[in-house]
Amino acid sequence: MTETSTTTPTRGTTLPREIWVLVGASFLIAIGYGLIAPALPNFAVSFDVGVTAASVVVSAFAFVRLAFAPLSGRMVTRFGERPVYLWGLLIVAAGTLATAAAVEYWQLLLFRSLSGVGSTMFTVSAVGLLIRIAPPHLRGRASGLWGTSFLLGGIAGPIVGSGLVAVSLRAPFLAYGLALLLTTAFVWWQLRRSTLVSRADEDGEPVLTFRQALRHRTYRAALASNFANGWVVFGVRMSLIPLFVTAVLLRGEEFTGVALAVFAAANAAVLLISGRFADTRGRKPPALLGLALLAVGTVLLGQADSPWLFLVASLIAGFGSGAVNPAQNAAVADVLGAKARGGSVLAGFQMAADVGAVLGPLAAGAIAEQWSYGAAFWLTGGVAAVALVTWILATETLPRRGPGEEDHAARDAVVEDRCGLDCPSRCR
C-alpha cells in the first residue's frame, strides 16, 4: 500500500507526514549528541592523555564534517537524499558503538572522526529532504519545526547524559549508538514507500551547481548569515562566554549554564514564529531582524558589567539566532527549488556554518587575549552586521504562485547564471 500520494499538496497549512518523521528523527539525534557531550572529554583523558589531546578528539569531529561536506553534497546529487541520510545515520551509529569499545586513544580519535563523516552525510541530506518534501509556502515553518526539535533534543541530551556518565564513561556512547540504529530503522520504515521522498534516476531533474547558486544574491546572503550563525552560536558562544563569565563577571560555571539556557530558550521560543512569518510575509524581514538582534546582543555581551545585563544580552542574541535560521533555510530551499538536484548547494550552505564555528573561536579568542573581551565581542557582532548588509541587498524569494503552478526558484538561479547578477528573474 502506498503511504503518500504523488500529488502536490494543496496550499494549506498542514505539513506532510514525512516532515514529522524527520522532526522526530532530528529530536532523537540531538538527544543522542547531547548524551555524549558531557562524557567525551573525560573519556579521552581516561586514556592517559593531556588536555590538548582530549581537545583534539572534540575538534576532529568538526574538522571531518567540514572536509567531507563537498563529497556528501555530490553523493546527495548522485544517489538521492534518502539513501545518503540512512547511510549517514548508520555510519555515525557504527562509529559511536566502536568509540564505546575503544581501548586506546588512537582508536577513540579514529572512530570519533569516522562519526563526523556520517554526521555531514545525514545533515546535508536532511536539509535536502526538507526542501523536497515541504510545500514552498510552508518551508519556513518546516525549517523552524526541524530546528526546534534539534534544539530541544540538545537541551535534554546533556541532562540524560550526565546520569549515564555516573554509570560509566562508555555508557553514553553505547546508548547513543543503539538509539541511532533504532532511529535509522524508524526512518526507513516510515519513508520506504513515500513518493514525496523518492526520486527516480530517469526523471532527468536539473542539477543546480554551487557556482550557479552563488550568482544568486539571496544564496550569497544565506551563506553569510549561516557563517555568522556558526561563528556566534556554535563557536564564540561555546568558547568565549564561559571564559568571560569567569574572568570579567567573576561568576562560576553555574551562571554560565544559566546564560546558555537563556540563549537556548529564546532561540526555541522564536523559531516557529519566525518560520510562520517567513512563509507569509517573506524571507527577508525575519532574516534582517534576526541578524540585527544577533549583532546587538553579541556586542552587549562583551560590554556587560553585571550578570543581569549579560542575561538580557543573551536573551537578545538568542531571539536573533532563532529569527534568522528558518528564514535563511527557506531562502536556500527557494533558490534550489523542490525539483532541482543541488547537493553541492546544500553542502556549501552547511560548510559556511562549519567554517564560522572553526574560525570564530580562534579569531575572537586571539583578540580577547591580545586586547580585550569587549573587542572580541565587537568583532563577533561585526560579522553578524556584515551578514545583515548582504541580506539588505538580497532579493525576496518567497514563492508567489497559485495552487498547481510550477516552482520557478531553481530555474531563476540558473537564468541569473546565464544573463548576469543584475538580470531580473522575469527575464525568463
Residue where the block lists cell 556528501: 72
pLDDT score, position 312: 94
pLDDT score, position 4: 40
pLDDT score, position 221: 96
156 contacts 54 by C-beta, under 8 angstroms: no
Number of Cβ within a 10 Å radius of residue 86: 20
170: phi then psi, degrees, rounded to nearest 5:
-85, -20
pLDDT score, position 421: 39
Name the CATH superfamily for 210-398+408-427: MFS general substrate transporter like domains (1.20.1250.20)
Please, what is the Cα angle at 386 between 328 and 149, to 5 degrees?
30
pLDDT score, position 171: 86
The amino acid at residue 119 is S
Can you list the residues of the chain whose pLDDT is less than 70? 1-13, 37-38, 51-52, 55, 158-159, 161-162, 195-206, 238-239, 253, 338-342, 400-428
Q: Do domains 17-195 and 210-398+408-427 have the same CATH topology?
A: yes
**Where in the chain are the domains?**
17-195, 210-398+408-427
The architecture CATH gives domain 17-195: Up-down Bundle (1.20)
- Judge if pTM exceeds 0.85: no
Cβ neighbours of residue 166 under 8 Å, at least 6 residues apart?
Answer: none
Query: Concatenated DSSP letters for 23-41?
Result: HHHHHHHHHHHHHHTTTHH
Residues 140-187: pLDDT tens digits? 888 888 878 877 877 777 667 667 777 788 888 898 999 899 999 988
